[in-house]
Amino acid sequence: MSDTVTRYRTLVGHRLFWPVAVLVVMLTANTIYRPGFLSIEVTDGHLYGTPIDILRLSAPLILVALGMTVVISTGGIDLSVGSVCAISGAVACVYISQQPDQNSLPVVLTALAAALGVALVLGAWNGVLVAVIGIQPIIATLILMVAGRGLAQLITGGQIITINSGPYRAIGLGHLLTLPLAVLVALAAALLVGAFTRRTALGMIIESVGGNAKASRLAGIRSGRVIFLAYVLSAGCAAVAGFMMTANVSSADGNSAGLWVELDAILAVVIGGTSLVGGRFYLSGTILGALIIQTLTTTVYAMNISPQTALLFKAVVVIAVCLIQAPAFRARFIRRRSSAPPPRAVADKPKEQVPA
């Protein structure tokens, strides 16, 4: 009996148990409301269905959240990822729209390379402000968050740039090996980041910098360089996410592209179990958090919840998820059965001496 209780507590105490449980509950509720929710069909060699749509639509958020996880693990935060998404998409779409042959693969690759280069420069800008100059991360990235929107609109001239490029559209809507290309790109990015941070010493270095940057410097770790590279990585992930967002609609809108994605990314990181104060981070938890957020968004639309109450419904569910996952909340408000305390020892009464 004690072994069963121990296994149960170990399972419930696992950092991924509650995110997985919440995701399963949401999928079950959707299936009950709409029996065909989990159905998947093959058409022209491609997989289609609501679960595939959830994976495809969550790919940009997964990319942004991966970069955000690394930044938060260093003790920082990046509020500019939404603006970087808008800028990268604007640069790519403007370049393609100016070319006579928009379906040319070299044209699309050149646009992607130029937009990615601009995004990496913006990430380096954030890294310099935080790691070199020493500005607080929330202030340093808030600067680019505000100015980046203006820069994106300046690139597009305040207009919505529409393109008609098949290769570029494939980034968001294309398929490869029966799966959406966006899903494969997000999976490749997750495996790449995971390989560098969990199969090498880089992950331990990042966690040590996030835990105590000063002690890491004294130990011989170049903390500033690690923080700088974290912001560059975050901008690179946001750029690829920006490609997907603009490819889904074949247009670039500097005002709305990637709007508030930074908040969803931070929320995905928190749901995944990564602490906002830095230190330990969990990439698998972040991916689950992104899937939960996208599943929740799909649930709102599937259940025909009115736009007036959709945001409130989403906020209530997110608060519930965070509370359920918090160990302090569970320890305080969820009573667990424990083994009964041993009975009190009863003091033996002194025996009456029998007179001889």
Task: Determine which of 89-103, 217-231, 286-300, 313-327 has the lowest per-residue pLDDT on average.
Answer: 313-327
- Give tens-digit pLDDT for 121-146: 999 999 999 999 999 999 999 999 99
Judge contact between 280 and 274, C-beta under 8 A. Answer: yes
pLDDT winner (highest mean) among 2-11, 103-112, 293-302: 103-112
Largest interatomic CA distance in the chain: 124
Question: Angle 74-197-7 (CA atoms, 0-180°, nearest 5)?
Answer: 95
What's residue 228's pLDDT?
95
Backbone angles phi, psi at 11, to 5 degrees: -65, -45
Tell me the average pLDDT across 53-74. Answer: 95
Q: pTM of the prediction? A: 0.87
Q: Is the pLDDT of residue 52 over 90?
A: yes
What is the residue type of 264?
A: D
What's residue 269's pLDDT?
92
307, β-bridge pairs: none
Residues across the chain: 356
Q: Is the pLDDT of residue 276 over 90?
A: no
Among 106, 22, 75, 78, CA closest to 280: 75
- Give tens-digit pLDDT for 154-197: 999 989 999 999 999 999 999 988 899 999 999 999 999 999 98
252, β-bridge pairs: 161
Judge contact between 279 and 73, C-beta under 8 A. Answer: yes
How would residue 337 be classed by pLDDT, with cut points 50, 70 and 90?
A: very low
Per-residue buried b or exposed e for 165-178, using 16+ beta carbons within 10 Å of the residue's own CB: bebbbbbbbbbeee
Among 237, 231, 350, 348, CA closest to 290: 237
How would residue 211 be classed by pLDDT, with cut points 50, 70 and 90?
A: confident
Average per-residue pLDDT in the chain? Answer: 86
What's residue 338's pLDDT?
46
pLDDT winner (highest mean) among 131-135, 295-299, 336-340: 131-135
Judge contact between 108 and 101, C-beta under 8 A. Answer: no
Task: Determine which of 55-69, 77-91, 191-205, 235-249 has the lowest per-residue pLDDT on average.
Answer: 191-205
**Cα–Cα distance between 289 and 272 in angstroms, integer?**
5
3-state secondary structure string across the chain: CHHHHHHHHHHHHCCCHHHHHHHHHHHHHHHHHCCCCCCEEEECCEEEEHHHHHHHHHHHHHHHHHHHHHHHHCCCCCCCHHHHHHHHHHHHHHHHHCCCCCCCHHHHHHHHHHHHHHHHHHHHHHHHHHHHHCCCHHHHHHHHHHHHHHHHHHHHCCCCEECCCHHHHHHHHCEECCEEHHHHHHHHHHHHHHHHHHCCCHHHHHHHHHHCHHHHHHCCCCHHHHHHHHHHHHHHHHHHHHHHHHHHHCEECCCCCCCCHHHHHHHHHHHCCCCCCCCCCCHHHHHHHHHHHHHHHHHHHHCCCCHHHHHHHHHHHHHHHHHHHCHHHHHHHCCCCCCCCCCCCCCCCCCCCCCC
Q: Is the pLDDT of residue 68 over 80?
A: yes
Tell me the average pLDDT across 1-18. Answer: 66
How would residue 34 be classed by pLDDT, with cut points 50, 70 and 90?
A: confident
What's residue 354's pLDDT?
46
Question: Angle 63-187-145 (CA atoms, 0-180°, nearest 5)?
Answer: 5
What's residue 3's pLDDT?
66
Backbone angles phi, psi at 197, to 5 degrees: -95, -20
What's residue 8's pLDDT?
57
For CA atoms 148, 149, 154, 156, give the dihedral sign.
Answer: positive
How would residue 12 be classed by pLDDT, with cut points 50, 70 and 90?
A: low
How would residue 346 be classed by pLDDT, with cut points 50, 70 and 90?
A: very low
What's residue 322's pLDDT?
74
How would residue 210 be classed by pLDDT, with cut points 50, 70 and 90?
A: confident
